[in-house]
Amino acid sequence: MRGDREFRKVRTHGVAVRDSLFTLRITEYRPRYGETWRPRAIIGIVVAKKTLKRAVDRNRVRRRVREALRTLPGGVPPCRAILLPNPGVLKVDFTQLQEALARALAKAPGRVKARTGNSGTARPVPAPVTVAPTPDAGGKR
């Protein structure tokens, strides 16, 4: 993802899926303005200095998570997401990391909606109302 604007959109409209290894905030895929429709996963990996002090550890976490997502069986569904890994990602086995990511992506709804607004459920269309013609009062206008 590029820029604070896209991260802010995911933070405000996304659904949070929490795991012991990370927090995943995910929304549905929508192309940027003027971009062609190519559904794909766009994921920003954010590791704070508060979480991991050393740059070596932060970079290792990013590389492990990126590789786990790349080699995920079944792939990653089209979405925009922010992944916030915990320090436990460094100690856990790689296959367990992949399983946790797969579980989190499975928990996330297929088509994520914003928390407010239209519920997205189909409502029946009401029958058209017909108005009976009124009798003319003397024919004068």
pTM (two decimals): 0.68
b/e 74-85 (16+ beta carbons within 10 angstroms → b): eebbebbbbbbb
pLDDT at 126: 63
Residue 8: alpha-carbon gap to chain centroid: 12
CA neighbours closer than 13 Å in the CB half-sphere of residue 121: 3
Q: For each of the chain's 141 residues, which pLDDT tens digit applies?
A: 667 777 888 788 788 888 888 988 888 877 667 777 777 788 889 999 998 999 999 999 999 999 998 888 888 888 888 899 999 999 999 999 999 998 888 877 654 444 444 555 555 656 666 777 777 666 665
pLDDT at 112: 41
